Structure 1
């Protein structure tokens, strides 16, 4: 394995793990605070039990997110020194602000975890809200930095020098809003369906049904509402990408030929040699409408992109299809769930409904990983789009393959440890609480 490939794989692997930890860490505090609010308003002990159980999960993912995020910050400097040399002074502001948000989140989480029976109940609840808001801001600020890589701004490139730097313009670049919106909604979708699926499974097993039913209801509402909003954010992102990164859009859709009234490709196997897509379903003029809002507009194909500037078509296309397919599946389940809530109330707690949520448990995170693949691989061969190539940013240091193997082992170990901790936490819940009452077993 050459060092360039090893560096890319190490970064991809690290990001793939961190994005799951960070999204759960961003969203779970809102679930926790919702259960806490219901406890304060209704005084049912089951909501207090849910709150305490989820707060332990929040602590676990805060710690793992901090560890994996710290590793990523070191990897940026060690693996991509040329990138950090030039880009660091430009988009350093969102990273520094993210550090501030993380600092506030850590303090608020400490207050929340150790504030039981020490603070006024509503102030205690408010510290949990601060945990959620600061965590969400941390995610938005990191995505703003990544958006800058897709839409570089806030500087003038003169004779190879980055001059007239404007950090605010760099942070609030053209891509930051669409990427931050899409990412935040995706975090709520993936975490909501995952948490709801776990509690649905426990209900089906008949373990601590009252506890898991309340937890399921909160997580399912968050996840299904977000699933209904995701197509809107996706449409905003698609139109943004069509304007700024036509090569990425062309790879997403395996759109080889520039044409007006371009059709939308669903599925299919791209044949880059023959410039065709086999076995695909094509919706006439839909791609033009998705990209521009005009059914007859021209959409640039890969034929107008130099070969050296084209991203890997197959990888981007398959990842995009997986993301959209899983997103539509969760949207369909969300619609069924809302019908159950408002029209067919007997569906809401039926076994088949719970089984659907169990099946959907991993869908959000699979879609999340696929979407991140589209974002990162679709930008290639650029690390700063149109400015610096990824191959020019990699470290000259040899032996990166060994670093990749080491960090892969660390992340796999971390994932196993976190999974065991969460499993232990779930099983402990069923030992502590009676499934038929709102009271703890003493």
Structure 2
């Protein structure tokens, strides 16, 4: 493995690991706060138990996310020094603001975890809400920095120099809203389905059914928000890509030849040599409509761009198809759940519905990882789109492959520890918060 591939692999691994905890931090505190709100409103101890159980999960994942996020920030400087040397002053503002949001989140989480029966109940609930808002802000700010890499602005690039820097304009670049909105929706979808699926599994196992049924309904409600909004946020993101990065759009669809009324391709295996997509289903004119709102609009193909500027077409295409497939499944399940919730409430406890959520448990995070693959791999060979190539930004330091092996070991170890801690926490729920037990006493 050469140093360039090792650096890219390490960054990809770090991003894939950290993005899970970022999404949990953006959404899970809102579930926790909603359960707390239900407790304050109804005085039902079960909701208090749910809020406490979820808050411990938030604490575990927050700590892990802090570690992986810190590692990731150091990697930017260690692996891509030329990039940070030139770009740091331009897009550094969202990172500094993200640090502020992170500290607010940490302080508010501390108040919430240790404030039970010590703080004013409304202030205690407000602390939980602040955890969610600051976590959401952190995610959006980091995405704004990534969006700048896809749509660099806020500076003049003259003779290889970055002049007239405007950090505010750089942060609010053209891609920031489409990316931030799509990322937020994806976070709600992924986290909501993961939590709902976990509780659905425990209901089917007949463990503390009352507790897990109430938790399932809350988590599923948040999941369907993401599931229903995903097509709209995806449409906005796709239109942004078609405008700002047409070569990425062409790679996503393996669209080789420029044409009007371009078809939308489902599935298939792209062949760059023959410039064909084998075994694909083509929906006439749909790509033109999705990209430009006109069924007869012209969509640029890969052949309109120098072949050296093509991203890895097969990787981007397959990742996009994976995202579309799992996103569509979650959207359909969300629509079914909404219909049942409003018109057929007796079906909420049906085994087929619970099994559907169990099966869909990992779908959100699979789609999320695939979406980030599209975003990052689809930008290649650029680290700053149209300005700096990734190969020109990598560190000259040798032996990066050993760093990659070490970080891989660290992330595998952290994954094992997290699984152990969360599994233990789930097993403790009936012991701590089981109102169905005649000897149960609410934990103070």
Give the aligned partner of residue 378 of structure 1: 378
The gaps in structure 1 that reach 5 residues or longer are none
Alignment RMSD: 1.0
Give the aligned partner of residue 62 of structure 2: 62
Give the aligned partner of residue 323 of structure 1: 323
Give the aligned partner of residue 363 of structure 2: 363
Structure 1 residues 121 and 441 mapped into 2: Cα distance closer, same or farther (>3 Å)? closer
1:143-166 CA distance string (max 9 Å, x none): 000000000000001111100000
1:212-244 CA distance string (max 9 Å, x none): 001100000000121000100000000000000
Give the aligned partner of residue 309 of structure 1: 309
1:248-280 CA distance string (max 9 Å, x none): 000000000000000000000001100000000
1:226 and 1:16 map into 2 onto residues whose CA distance is 20
The gaps in structure 2 that reach 5 residues or longer are none
1:101 and 1:65 map into 2 onto residues whose CA distance is 14
Q: Which segment drifts farther, 249-258 or 331-340?
A: 331-340
1:114-147 CA distance string (max 9 Å, x none): 1111111001000110010001000000000000
Contact kept, 8 Å, 2:46 with 2:435, in 1: the verdict is no
1:109 aligns to 2:119 (yes or no):
no
Could you tell me how far 1:57 is from its partner in structure 2?
0.5
1:9 aligns to 2:9 (yes or no):
yes
1:86-138 CA distance string (max 9 Å, x none): 00000000000000111111111111111111111001000110010001000
Give the aligned partner of residue 347 of structure 1: 347
Give the aligned partner of residue 194 of structure 2: 194
Contact kept, 8 Å, 1:144 with 1:180, in 2: the verdict is yes
Contact kept, 8 Å, 2:4 with 2:391, in 1: the verdict is yes
2:95 and 2:336 map into 1 onto residues whose CA distance is 40
Q: Which segment drifts farther, 202-211 or 424-433?
A: 424-433
Report the 3-state secondary structure (helix = DSSP H, G, I; strand = E; otherwise coil) of the residue aligned with 1:348: helix
Could you tell me how far 1:352 is from its partner in structure 2?
0.6
Structure 1 residues 435 and 208 mapped into 2: Cα distance closer, same or farther (>3 Å)? farther
Could you tell me how far 1:437 is from its partner in structure 2?
6.1
Aligned 1:212-361 pairs, distance under 5 A: 212-361=212-361
2:83 and 2:66 map into 1 onto residues whose CA distance is 23
Contact kept, 8 Å, 1:22 with 1:61, in 2: the verdict is no
1:283 and 1:56 map into 2 onto residues whose CA distance is 47
TM-score by length of 1: 0.99
Report the 3-state secondary structure (helix = DSSP H, G, I; strand = E; otherwise coil) of the residue aligned with 2:62: helix
1:78 and 1:338 map into 2 onto residues whose CA distance is 47
Give the aligned partner of residue 22 of structure 1: 22
Give the aligned partner of residue 42 of structure 2: 42
Could you tell me how far 1:440 is from its partner in structure 2?
3.5
1:430 and 1:309 map into 2 onto residues whose CA distance is 56
1:322 and 1:30 map into 2 onto residues whose CA distance is 28
Contact kept, 8 Å, 2:268 with 2:280, in 1: the verdict is yes
1:322 and 1:437 map into 2 onto residues whose CA distance is 44
1:89 aligns to 2:69 (yes or no):
no
Contact kept, 8 Å, 1:209 with 1:435, in 2: the verdict is no
1:86 and 1:313 map into 2 onto residues whose CA distance is 29
1:435 and 1:207 map into 2 onto residues whose CA distance is 12
1:157 aligns to 2:157 (yes or no):
yes
2:378 and 2:229 map into 1 onto residues whose CA distance is 24
Could you tell me how far 1:441 is from its partner in structure 2?
6.9
1:242 and 1:167 map into 2 onto residues whose CA distance is 25
1:371 and 1:433 map into 2 onto residues whose CA distance is 37
Report the 3-state secondary structure (helix = DSSP H, G, I; strand = E; otherwise coil) of the residue aligned with 2:294: coil
2:321 and 2:181 map into 1 onto residues whose CA distance is 20
Report the 3-state secondary structure (helix = DSSP H, G, I; strand = E; otherwise coil) of the residue aligned with 2:434: coil
1:393 and 1:62 map into 2 onto residues whose CA distance is 31
Q: Which 4+ runs in 1 deviate beyond 6 A?
A: none
1:123 and 1:203 map into 2 onto residues whose CA distance is 33
1:167 and 1:241 map into 2 onto residues whose CA distance is 22
1:171-225 CA distance string (max 9 Å, x none): 0000000000000110000000000000000000000001100110000000012
1:158 and 1:103 map into 2 onto residues whose CA distance is 38
1:421 aligns to 2:414 (yes or no):
no
2:291 and 2:22 map into 1 onto residues whose CA distance is 30
1:154 and 1:225 map into 2 onto residues whose CA distance is 34
